[in-house]
Structure 1
Amino acid sequence: MTITSAPAETPPTAPGRRLGRVALTVLIWLLIVPALLSAIVRVSGWDRGPLVQLLAYTPYVAAWSVLPMVLALATRRWPAAAVGLAVVLAFALLVAPRAIPGGRGPSTGVRLNVMSSNLLFGGADPAQIVGLVREHDIEVLAVQEFTTDGKLALAKAGLEDLLPYTSFADEAGASGSGLYSRYPITGAGHRRMGGGFLQAYATVQPPHAEPVLVESAHPRAPSDLGLNGLWRSDLAEEPGTGPDGTPRILLGDFNATLDHAPLRRLVARGYRDAGVATGQGLTPTWPYFEHRGIPWVTLDHVLVDKRIGVRDISVHRITNSDHRAVLAGLTVPAAQLPA
């Protein structure tokens, strides 16, 4: 006869420990669900109401979404871990490509250096802007929030000695716009967008190159819920481009990031984003003045026709402006030799 001992009973889980496990599970889900909802909104392109402004911070949500996934994996909450991993992968597909260089476009042609700067009601430091133009051999400059006082300050600082050809649409407040060029321009003019802002444009003729049509972009900002419709319609109103006609460069303060569907639709109408092409698509450009506590986002862009290549891009802080200036080295089509 074999005598065996009775199996030991598993000690009951202490109520406090069980409550702690439940609390941790709830916490993990509370961290995952907002990120999941953000990913769903971003994928669906549902830019409505307060979501317009919140979507600008998608890269921050993407970084934060890693935390609950790791926590769920470490504590073996497998359902939460699976959902968290799906959210992280979704954000990786949506956000990470902006940090990976690629799609620069043509590499042969004529170099053209361009710059865009929002002047914040014309008050940005004119000497600094002129210094950047001189130091980086800028050939075309687009400015937004371009006032008459700002125009006079830039002239006094010597900008027109460097870039003598102009297309001006200066106006009080935030609605003015302007273009400066080292090379002759034709067809200078401006359009008033539905949101009320002006956009200066002109066709620039660089030496040994095909002409390019340049426009200083500034859609209305979705600064409150009542302006969301104007912001959306302004982005839809921006000119597209294609394989025929004069190649376009659209640069400026778009008041939108690539997490906003209206800007993505604009890029899809024949453009490449110079920041994305160089792996700098997440480099922030706003806010840098008078907006303490707001996370930095990428509102300023250089969009170029698919026939134009992108060499490099950089951003620079401008004193007394809430936007960083964006500088890009482009490759525009060379002029066709006569047969």
Structure 2
Amino acid sequence: MIRTVLTWLVVVPFAVWAVLRVTGVDIADRWIQLVAFTPYVAAASVAPVLLAGLLRRWIPMAVAVVTAAALAFAVLPRYFADADPHTGGGTFRVLAANLAVGAGDGAELVRLVDRLQPDVLAIQELTPGAMKRLDALGLRERMPYVVDRSQGGVWGSGIYSAHPLTERPLIALGRFRQARAVIKVKNGPEIEVVSVHPCAPSHAAKMSCWRSGLAALPRAGERLTVLAGDFNATLDHWPVRELLDSGYRDAADVMGQGFTATWPQKGWRPVPGVTIDHVLADERMGVRAFSVHDLPGTDHRSVFAELTLPLTGAAAVREG
């Protein structure tokens, strides 16, 4: 009897976690924070299977096996690269960086731009002071087309582009300013880019703002769209999965790098790393490369993706 109770005490928390993750049920504010660590729970879910087997408790073992399988199904695809038909209509390189209230190392960011040659740079937590420093370092000379939605504190954002752009209406919720622009690539299609940064779900008062900030992001549609930046959410959060279901793909997931942590950088907080910075690209775009880069002075690592454009050039409406 004691062994049976002990086994269930170990199995049940994992089973509940799996049910909540698979169904997307939003039961509490704290759960929104916890679900980001699902990959770690999935790895640990083997332990209840082994325990139940050793104690010969077959019903709990069956539940544990189903639980482990459900969690593995949810997270393991991120480890394997997708068979991606690289379209041949040109490339579009995207770099996203959270500057931690403007404290990120501007010189290193400019060096990243020189090395990676992005077509667009989406910046979060961009302050007016940080923007002045970046311009003084020559960023605007490299990427002369700019949407400036900088602001003091954590709320500002911006978009630098190597191509002409037209600003789109700002997504402003809970003081967070998510910049948008339509970029016209030479001899290519128009691409909408959003510098993503909803509220962080750090406590109960911010949960509604977090949900609204993600819900306000444009769904995949007629125009090719790329969402890049600090989502404050992983692929285990239901709002991100809804975005993917609308017709986006996560560049890291496509390249088999979906477990590469982007927050926090070493030395910032004593918590396991999670993947909350993303490049989501319209599914009509190919993904040729993805990488994550350290940026001193900030708690986030920068993310870079090299995308390929449709052969037709124009953003046609998806069939069906």
Distance 2:93 2:141 in 1: 17
- Please say if 1:178 is aligned against 2:153: no
- Please say if 1:208 is aligned against 2:184: no
Amino acid at match of 1:188: E
Residues 160-210 of structure 1 deviation map (CA, whole Å, 9 limit, x = unaligned)? 12111111100000110101111222x224514322211112221222321
Q: Tell me the residue number matched to 2:218.
A: 239
**In 2 relative to 1, CA 78–206 (structure 1 residues): closer, same or farther, beyond 3 Å?**
same
**Identity between Structure 1 and Structure 2 (%):** 42
Q: Structure 1: which 5+ residue stretches go unaligned?
A: 1-21
- Please say if 1:95 is aligned against 2:75: yes
- Please say if 1:278 is aligned against 2:258: no
Q: Tell me the residue number matched to 1:11.
A: none
Q: Tell me the residue number matched to 2:199.
A: 220
Amino acid at match of 2:256: G
Q: Tell me the residue number matched to 1:131.
A: 111
- Please say if 1:140 is aligned against 2:120: yes
Q: Tell me the residue number matched to 1:152.
A: 132
Contact 1:212–1:248 (Cα < 8 Å) also in 2: yes
Match of 1:255 among 209, 232, 247: 232
Amino acid at match of 2:304: L
Q: Tell me the residue number matched to 2:279.
A: 302
- Please say if 1:199 is aligned against 2:178: yes
Secondary structure (helix, strand or coil) at the match of 2:179 reads strand
TM-score, normalised to structure 2, is 0.93
Distance 1:213 1:239 in 2: 9
Distance 1:168 1:155 in 2: 12
Match of 1:324 among 297, 301, 309: 301
Distance 1:297 1:141 in 2: 22
Give the C-alpha shift of residue 234 in structure 1. 1.4
Residues 281-319 of structure 1 deviation map (CA, whole Å, 9 limit, x = unaligned)? 121111116642211111111111122111110101110
Q: Tell me the residue number matched to 1:76.
A: 56
Select the structure of larger CA radius of gyration.
1
Distance 1:162 1:139 in 2: 10
**In 2 relative to 1, CA 218–204 (structure 1 residues): closer, same or farther, beyond 3 Å?**
same
**In 2 relative to 1, CA 319–164 (structure 1 residues): closer, same or farther, beyond 3 Å?**
same
Contact 1:219–1:234 (Cα < 8 Å) also in 2: yes
- Please say if 1:111 is aligned against 2:81: no
TM-score, normalised to structure 1, is 0.88
Q: Tell me the residue number matched to 2:317.
A: none
Secondary structure (helix, strand or coil) at the match of 1:50 reads helix
Secondary structure (helix, strand or coil) at the match of 1:226 reads helix
Distance 2:42 2:62 in 1: 16
Q: Tell me the residue number matched to 1:122.
A: 102
Amino acid at match of 2:157: S
Contact 1:193–1:237 (Cα < 8 Å) also in 2: no
**What's the Cα RMSD here?**
1.8
Residues 115-154 of structure 1 deviation map (CA, whole Å, 9 limit, x = unaligned)? 0000100110001111111111222100000100110111
Distance 2:124 2:151 in 1: 10
Residues 245-299 of structure 1 deviation map (CA, whole Å, 9 limit, x = unaligned)? x211111111111111111112212211111111111211111166422111111
Secondary structure (helix, strand or coil) at the match of 2:170 reads strand
Amino acid at match of 2:81: P
Secondary structure (helix, strand or coil) at the match of 1:161 reads helix
Secondary structure (helix, strand or coil) at the match of 1:234 reads helix
Q: Structure 2: which 5+ residue stretches go unaligned?
A: 315-320
